[in-house]
Structure 1
Amino acid sequence: MTTPQGYDAIIVGGGHNGLVAAAYLGKAGKRVLLLERLDAVGGAAVSAQAFEGVEAWLSRYSYLVSLLPQRIIDDLALDITLVRRRYSSYTPDPSDPTRGLLIDNADAVATKASFDRIGAPADEFDLFERFYEHCRRLTEALWPTMTAPLLTRSEAKRLVTDVGGSSEWDAMIEHPIGDVISTHLENDLVRGVVLTDALIGTFARADDTDLQQNICFLYHLIGGGTGDWDVPVGGMGAVSSEIARAARDAGAELATNAEVTAIDPAGRVRYIVDGAQVEASATWILANVAPATLDALVRAGTEVSYGREQLAAGEPSAGVFEARPFGSATDHNPNTSREGAQVKVNLLLSRLPRLLDETVSPEAAFGGTFHINESWSGLDAAYSMAAGGGIPSPLPCEIYCHSLADPTILGPELREGGAHTLTVFGLHVPSRLVTAENNDEMRSRLQAAVLESLNSVLAEPIEDIIMTDAAGWPCIETKTTLDIERAVGMPKGNIFHGGLDWPFLEDDAPVSTPAERWGVATRHPRIVLCGSGARRGGAVSGIGGHNAAMAVLESE
């Protein structure tokens, strides 16, 4: 057993949030150790050559950027290029896939014509535009607060009301988001396009009273105040690599293949490197893991006593890993065990597929978010099927074609040959459907469901244009919720690390410590959350890491 010298902060988990925290603390002159169990940092925000012998680097688990504040980019001097997509979305009509709704950010006349083509009421386009204008009134007010100490609910409401957003607050914060969507929009397909932002990664219905769908909707629209989702040039791995560069330049020590096995709330961490157990101490521990994972690590640390000698004077604890009462580290969030609800499929195609809708080019359709089988009624039916224990049929899906906006993720030969990547995100696939015993079978069934859903809107079978790797296998990779949990440590495959929180505190919430004010507190004073499980966490944003670092620095 080896024991390194003490640190100011130990960060458990090397995802992008942990790297952001490491960079900020390093810049502040703190001695920082970051521990990552995988052989590279970046967590879920990485790029990988997923297919043997094929020069295509896929953003395997995350793919777009909306919530990364310009403030973090500027503070850390990050060299990151984000590309804005011209098209917002294309959604074929499930009842007649020879027509669909194309939302073109650069051409309102064409978008209006698309509304007419699907049979929407004459005023539906104007109501759709007005709906998002009202949403922006709220998101533009709240966005600057994401990297500041938390407001209370009353303060946040007053901030929104002061810019004329009292009705928006009521519609988006106080009542199920389905109410306002169904009240102001009539067309089944248009309603579904709006609703999807409330359901990505969240197993919910439009009218659920716990409002998880509302919080998910808010986070999908709040980025930059506008809700634009951009493509990172070089893939998601380029974003994490640049943040890691900033952390190293700031003096942080980044250790990979270092698996944390126990955390003592008094300030010590046990981990394994090259088969050897190592202990390190720190004034602060920043948990860039899911709250449920943190709880397990603290349980391991509090149930074991090493019987070591007293620490040297000045080190942070007189007892090392001593047994003490255990409770949830994250009592602030009762939804830490909430399940993920998606299947992710990555494909490499020889070219873009032809559509049943001949009025829209494949480049336009795949140039934004391609929605499949996501009408309002279809999404609700899919939820009911999944809640009943079955795979939804047809499966609601969203597709992202990274290579259209950023061809640099493909090698020269693939680019010249017209190849493209597709990432498919299948909705309403709760983790309860997948077990260790049936995971292989479910992976195969879910992959088939995704391809069937795709084929329902294509003029040719998608299978005919899937490329093969060096061994002759189709270039298709499917990840269930269990696969995601095993690969990147997201319990139940939940991409948000658990249930989402509003980006403000309830009026009676405790705010006596910096950690509480920044939304990163746990029940252990020296442990703070710095990942997606923190309040205002989720997505590739760096906000959890920024806010944890600010709480630590404010506590000095």
Structure 2
Amino acid sequence: MPGDPDVAIIGGGHNAGVAAAYLARAGLQVVVCEARDRFGGAVASEPVFPGVAANLSRFSYLVSLLPDRIVADLGLEIELRSRPVASYTPVGDDGILVERPEGDETAVSFARLAGSADYPAWGEFHDQLADIAAAIAPTLTEPLRPVDEVRAMIDPALWHGLVERPLGDLLRQRFGSDVVRGIVATDALIGTDTRLDDPSLRQNRCFLYHVIGNGTGEWRVPVGGMGAVAAEIERAARAAGADLRFGARVEAVREEGDNRVLELTDGTELRAGLVLAGCAPAVLDRLRGRTPAEVSEGTQIKINMVLRRLPRLRSGRDPEQAFAGTLHLHQSAGDLDRAAEAAEAGRIPDPLPCEVYCHTLTDRSILAPGLDAAGWHTLTLFGLHTPARLFRADPDRTRDLVRDAALRSLQHALAEPLDDCLATDLNGRPCVEAMSPLDIEAELGMPGGQIFHGDLSWPWLAGPDAPRTAAERWGVATDDPRILLCGAGAVRGGAVSGIGGHNAAQAVLELLDHRARG
């Protein structure tokens, strides 16, 4: 692409690709600068274990918040499949099963293990969440609405419980069972350094994003793995005419009149009238020569596994049912509170609250034909309450200790040793990869391994002041009108959604239209 671009984008994650596709389709010259040798950032797939032809989603793994509107606008050929089970939660030698759709087994397991009142309460609560999702999801790809306008769309009592009081209060009010409260609560704690009674309400914001995706809140499996999602977004951006450059690490951003200049490590300079930052706001601050504001750190352990077969469970539940949805381990509300207390005291929680799911029970295309025929599977484990600060003194040893704690949590639900089921790689090592927040920081440039680039924001205008600029209207503003956020750090930017990229592109087009009108 000759000459200086109209828009330069820092980082080649999925949000950057979405923004690039929209802007290039509108006729703008767009350059994307990605430091790594591939597109997609956390939305990527690759073989992890030598000699094992399984294409794993190493970082992110399920999709909920990617709006159908973006898929349709960009012509993305992406297949997202529903999992056959919503969740299974072992309880002693039994367990609570949540079918999809819910049926008699769900009702019986609730009655047997949670009491007769909690299942009707569960149904009522999820019906209310569905109403909230249907109301809020369409607004995520619109300019931010005033808080009063959004509040008017939601039942006042539920608004109070979800937006004005710690989520723990609402769950204790709605559910008698500690286990049921925990099944609901995990959506509030994923990747977030918080607890259910945190007065900051960051747990409430995390919960809201986890239950509103596409108006249903359902988390679906990307066929072909997350890499298939990244590849489609890359294809759309290139087809629109965007220039995607790999190995293009931005070292600094400086002002030069009406332009902003990206200085790359190879000495290249790019001048653009507008810059979109797909990196974390803290990274952008460093590139601009500023001291980054302190942000919350990542608090998750991610473990990828390949198995020759699925292990049997203590409960006797069919593994193909138990692992097909989200397998909740040590995630009662009490377990979650105790784990948070341990992490706050600087200890590794044990038992460690985890959730596990099996991609290959919904989509076997990520396995080579030989592994597919042999009945192999992948497992993804996501552990909570393992903040980056636990790892800083001795990262490698602590990662091993946390990995072992996570695998013990899984083993507790099994009727046979997990080791007997694990595949081994070309070198005879078990196919287990563990990534701490510090590993994620090193791999993806996310400070502290914070997968949301910082605390999530409410998806509306929280204050009384009207937005003054297009960037403020779309929730992508920085203090520089020529630099906009387009990644997870934007308002409504977390998770695999493309919303940050879409909204940054809309703000740019609105700004340029305003300039053209004089």
Report the TM range for the smaller structure's normalisation: over 0.9
Q: What does residue 516 of structure 2 align with?
A: none
What is the match of residue 47 of structure 2?
49
1:249 to 223, 239, 244: 239
Superposed counterparts of 1:431-450, under 5 Å: 431-435=388-392, 437-450=393-406
The residue type equivalent to 1:181 in the other structure is: L
| Contact preservation (8 Å) 1:4, 1:279 | no
Which amino acid is the alignment partner of residue 330 of structure 2? N
Conserved? CA contact 2:336–2:353, under 8 Å: yes
Structure 1, residues 9-41: CA drift from partner, whole Å, max 9, x if none? 000000000000000000000000000000001
CA distance in 1, matches of 2:462, 2:63: 28
Report the Cα distance in structure 1 between the residues aligned to 2:300 and 2:347, rounded to whole angstroms. Answer: 13
| CA positional deviation for 1:510 | 4.7
Specify the alignment match of 1:127 in structure 2: 121
Which residue type is aligned with residue 152 of structure 1?
A: P
Q: Does the aligned pair in 1 maintain the 2:88–2:96 contact within 8 Å?
A: yes
After superposing the two structures, state which structure 1 stretch, 503-512 or 522-531, moved more.
Answer: 503-512
Match of 2:362 among 398, 405, 418: 405
Separation (CA, whole Å) in 1 of partners of 2:162 and 2:181:
15
Q: Which residue of 1 is the match for residue 71 of structure 2?
A: 73
1:489-514 deviation digits (Å, cap 9, x = unpaired): 11101110111100011232450100
Partner of 2:156: 166
Residue of structure 2 equivalent to 1:269: 261
Alpha-carbon distance between aligned partners in 2 of 1:513 and 1:63, rounded to the nearest angstrom: 35
- Return the letter of the residue paired with 1:471: N
Asked whether the equivalents of residues 195 and 337 of structure 2 are also in contact (C-alpha less than 8 Å), the reply is yes
Is residue 215 of structure 1 aligned with residue 205 of structure 2?
yes
Question: Which whole-Å CA distance do the structure 2 matches of 1:112 and 1:33 have between them?
Answer: 54
Quick one: distance in 1 between partners of 2:296 and 2:208? 18
Letter in 1 for 2:480: H
Q: Which residue of 2 aligns with 1:378?
A: 335
Structure 2 counterpart of 1:61, which letter? F
1:304 matched residue in structure 2:
none
Q: Distance in 1 between matches of 2:477 and 2:309?
A: 48
Partner in structure 2 of residue 323 of structure 1:
none
Number of aligned residue pairs: 510
SS in 2 for 1:408: coil
- Other-structure match for 2:315: 357
Matched with 2:496 is 540
Instruction: Say whether the 8 Å CA contact 2:57–2:226 is kept in structure 1.
Output: yes
TM-score (norm. length: structure 1): 0.90
Cα distance in 2 for residues equivalent to 1:498 and 1:134 = 28
Report deviation, 1:4.
7.2
For 1:499 and 1:224, the matched residues in 2 are separated by 22
1:180-219 paired onto structure 2 within 5 Å: 180-219=170-209
Which residue of structure 2 aligns with residue 103 of structure 1? 98
In the other structure, the counterpart of 1:310 is: none
The answer to whether the 8 A contact 2:485-2:504 is kept is: yes
State the secondary structure of the residue aligned to 1:128: helix
1:126-525 superposed matches below 5 A:
126-160=120-154, 165-266=155-256, 267-272=259-264, 276-299=266-289, 337-358=295-316, 360-435=317-392, 437-525=393-481
SS for the counterpart of 1:258 is coil
Which residue in the other structure is 2:20 paired with?
Answer: 22
Residues 340-399 of structure 1: CA deviation (Å, up to 9, x unaligned): 1000100000101100001x2101110101110101101100100110000000000011
- Who is 1:7 aligned against? 5
Structure 1 269/449 Cα, relative in aligned 2: closer, same or farther at 3 Å? farther
Deviation at residue 265 of structure 1 after TM alignment? 4.1
Cα gap change, 1:443 to 1:215, in 2 (>3 Å): same
| Contact 1:379/1:396 (8 A) holds in 2 | yes
Cα distance between partner residues in 2 of 1:7 and 1:107: 52
> Which residue in the other structure is 1:550 paired with?
506
Does structure 2 conserve the Cα–Cα contact (< 8 Å) formed by 1:26 and 1:251? yes
Kept in 2: contact 1:138–1:168 (CA 8 A): no
Counterpart-to-counterpart distance in 2, 1:421 and 1:272: 38
Deviations 1:281-339 (A, max 9, x none): 1111000000100100011xxxxxxxxxxxxxxxxxxxxxxxxxx576xxxxx7x6111
Residue 107 of structure 1, CA deviation: 3.8
How many Å apart are 1:110 and its aligned residue? 1.0
Query: Which range is displaced more, 64-73 or 505-514?
Result: 505-514
CA distance in 2, matches of 1:268, 1:208: 40
Q: Distance in 2 between matches of 1:507 and 1:392?
A: 38
CA–CA distance in 2 between the matches of 1:496 and 1:40?
A: 21
- SS of equivalent to 1:40: coil
Letter in structure 2 aligned against 1:515: A
> Quick one: distance in 2 between partners of 1:47 and 1:244?
14
- Residue in structure 1 matched with residue 58 of structure 2 by the alignment: 60
Q: Distance in 2 between matches of 1:258 and 1:501?
A: 30
Counterpart Cα distance in 1 of 2:34 and 2:291? 25
Q: SS where residue 304 of structure 2 aligns?
A: strand
SS at match of 2:288: helix
**Structure 2 segments unaligned to the other structure (5+ residues):** 513-518
State the SS of the aligned residue for 1:14: coil
> Following TM superposition, by how much is the alpha carbon of 1:553 offset from its aligned partner in structure 2, in angstroms?
0.4
Q: Pairwise CA RMSD of aligned residues?
A: 1.4
Offset at 1:418?
1.0
Contact 2:252 2:264 (C-alpha < 8 Å) held by counterparts: no
Cα deviation code 1:146-181 (max 9, x no counterpart): 000001111211233xxxx22221111111111111
In the TM superposition, residue 433 of structure 1 has moved relative to its aligned partner by: 0.6
- Please name the residue that 1:31 is paired with: 29
Q: Sequence identity of aligned pairs in percent? A: 50
Taking structure 2 as the reference length, what is the TM-score of the superposition? 0.96
